[in-house]
């Protein structure tokens, strides 16, 4: 079983010719509404790949909450530990996607910011029995710290988005930052080359292993003193929103099934690559047969 503690957002997505700079107004295309939020995206990604997944989180008491809870449940996620919050809006994300598929996102956390350590304690059984627990940074640190403490299995921490002042749990099994998040964690400039990424990731403490997601440059796995660069699967991206979430969800499934970190990272890379070829965050994550087909084509 996999337990994801994290956010649920209603994503409002606008295609744009380019991302606006401060003070600029850009005319975009028609807006689309999708279920999102890093926690929900990761939970759905894992469920679509065959994982038995419980999601712990908070939504408001509004129409958006109904949409998000129903869409997670419809994908097979156990929503027993999704709590309603009075007088607070459900989380929302304003997303712009440019012609290369790159996104910029503003998150209004709403009810996500009300998730507490006590909420995680109420889900203690789901955390204790999970083979893998997955955490991100769109809910308060206190909730993440409680979840990490209560987790009976492996803890995956995705420090996304990079939040100034966020404090990861004292110890996690696997840390999964992207370049920006790695820079935020190390307090240095964004590393560019694989050597620079490796050097920066070696500075991190508090995790048994680190997997840095590098988009089109693949992923870097650091385990003890060993490092391994896994190139990306060549795809033509149309929307990279949620690719990191597809990666984390797939990783959780592969690790819960007993695969090695390297096997899990390759599988998750394939899932993330497929997700970038489709629009939206949650709906773009692949099913198991699609990941198998992409891997078989590159065997």
Catalytic positions are: 245
Q: Which of 3, 9, 144, 276 binds ligand RIB (CB under 6 A)?
A: 9
- Pick the closest to residue 9 from 66, 91, 71 (CA basis): 91
Instruction: State yes or no: residue 58 binds ligand RIB (CB under 6 A).
Output: no
Q: Cis check for the bond before 126: say yes or no (omega within 30 of 0).
A: no
Nearest residue to ligand RIB by CB is 36
Q: Which of 3, 4, 5, 37 binds ligand RIB (CB under 6 A)?
A: 37
In total, the chain counts a number of residues equal to: 299
Instruction: State yes or no: residue 36 binds ligand RIB (CB under 6 A).
Output: yes
Q: Encode burial over 64-97: b for 16+ CB neighbours within 10 A, e otherwise.
A: bbebbbebbeebebbbebbbebeebbbbbbebbb
Instruction: State yes or no: residue 242 binds ligand RIB (CB under 6 A).
Output: yes
Q: Which is nearer to ligand RIB, 33 or 260 (CB)?
A: 33
Secondary structure (3-state) at 39: helix
Instruction: State yes or no: residue 57 binds ligand RIB (CB under 6 A).
Output: no
* Piece of the chain touching ligand RIB by CB under 6 A; list 34-42, 47-55, 250-258, 290-298: 34-42
d(CA 136, CA 158): 5
Secondary structure (3-state) at 47: helix
Instruction: State yes or no: residue 32 binds ligand RIB (CB under 6 A).
Output: no
Q: Which is nearer to ligand RIB, 41 or 276 (CB)?
A: 41
Q: How far is the CB of 195 from ligand RIB (least distance, A)?
A: 27
Show the DSSP H helices in 84-215 as ranges: 117-122, 124-129, 141-150, 179-186, 194-202
Q: Which is nearer to ligand RIB, 85 or 178 (CB)?
A: 178
Instruction: State yes or no: residue 3 binds ligand RIB (CB under 6 A).
Output: no
Report whether 23 contacts 155 (CB < 8 A): no
Instruction: State yes or no: residue 147 binds ligand RIB (CB under 6 A).
Output: no
Residue with tokens 């979840």: 147
# residues contacting ligand RIB (CB under 6 A): 16
Secondary structure (3-state) at 153: coil
* Piece of the chain touching ligand RIB by CB under 6 A; list 210-218, 236-244, 259-267, 270-278: 236-244
Instruction: State yes or no: residue 281 binds ligand RIB (CB under 6 A).
Output: yes
E strands present in the chain: 2-5, 9-15, 32-36, 53-59, 82-84, 91-97, 103-108, 132-135, 154-157, 172-175, 207-213, 219-223, 226-230
Q: How far is the CB of 193 from ligand RIB (least distance, A)?
A: 25
Q: Which of 241, 269, 275, 276 binds ligand RIB (CB under 6 A)?
A: 241
Residue with tokens 């590393």: 191
Q: Which is nearer to ligand RIB, 57 or 242 (CB)?
A: 242
d(CA 59, CA 73): 14
Q: Which of 138, 173, 181, 239 binds ligand RIB (CB under 6 A)?
A: 138
Instruction: State yes or no: residue 181 binds ligand RIB (CB under 6 A).
Output: no
Applying CB under 6 A, the residues found at the interface with ligand RIB are 7, 9, 11, 36-38, 41, 93, 105, 107, 138, 241-242, 244-245, 281
């Amino acid at each position: 079983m996999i337990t994801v503690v994290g956010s649920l957002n209603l994503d409002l997505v606008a295609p744009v010719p380019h991302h606006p700079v401060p003070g600029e107004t850009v005319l975009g295309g028609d807006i689309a509404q999708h279920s999102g939020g890093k926690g929900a995206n990761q939970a759905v990604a894992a469920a679509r790949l065959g994982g038995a997944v419980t999601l712990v989180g908070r939504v408001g008491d509004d129409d958006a909450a109904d949409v998000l809870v129903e869409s997670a449940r419809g994908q097979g996620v156990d929503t027993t530990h999704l709590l309603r919050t009075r007088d607070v809006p459900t989380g929302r994300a304003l997303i712009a996607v440019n012609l290369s598929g790159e996104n910029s996102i503003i998150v209004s956390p709403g009810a996500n910011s009300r998730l507490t350590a006590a909420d995680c304690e109420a889900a203690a059984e789901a955390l204790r029995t999970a083979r893998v627990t997955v955490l991100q940074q769109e809910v308060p640190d206190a909730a993440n710290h409680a979840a990490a403490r209560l987790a009976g299995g492996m803890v995956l921490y995705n420090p996304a988005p990079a939040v100034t002042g966020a404090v990861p749990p004292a110890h996690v099994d696997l840390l999964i930052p992207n370049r920006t998040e790695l820079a935020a964690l190390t307090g240095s400039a964004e590393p560019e080359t694989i050597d620079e990424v490796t050097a920066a990731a070696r500075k991190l403490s508090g995790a048994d292993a680190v997997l840095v997601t590098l988009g089109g440059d693949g992923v870097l796995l650091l385990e003890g003193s060993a490092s391994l660069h896994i190139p990306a699967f060549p795809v033509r991206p149309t929307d990279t929103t949620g690719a990191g979430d597809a990666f984390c969800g797939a990783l959780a499934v592969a690790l819960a099934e007993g695969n090695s970190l390297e096997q899990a990272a390759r599988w998750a890379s394939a899932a993330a690559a497929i997700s970038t070829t489709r629009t939206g965050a949650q709906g773009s994550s692949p099913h198991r047969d699609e990941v198998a087909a992409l891997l078989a084509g590159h065997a």
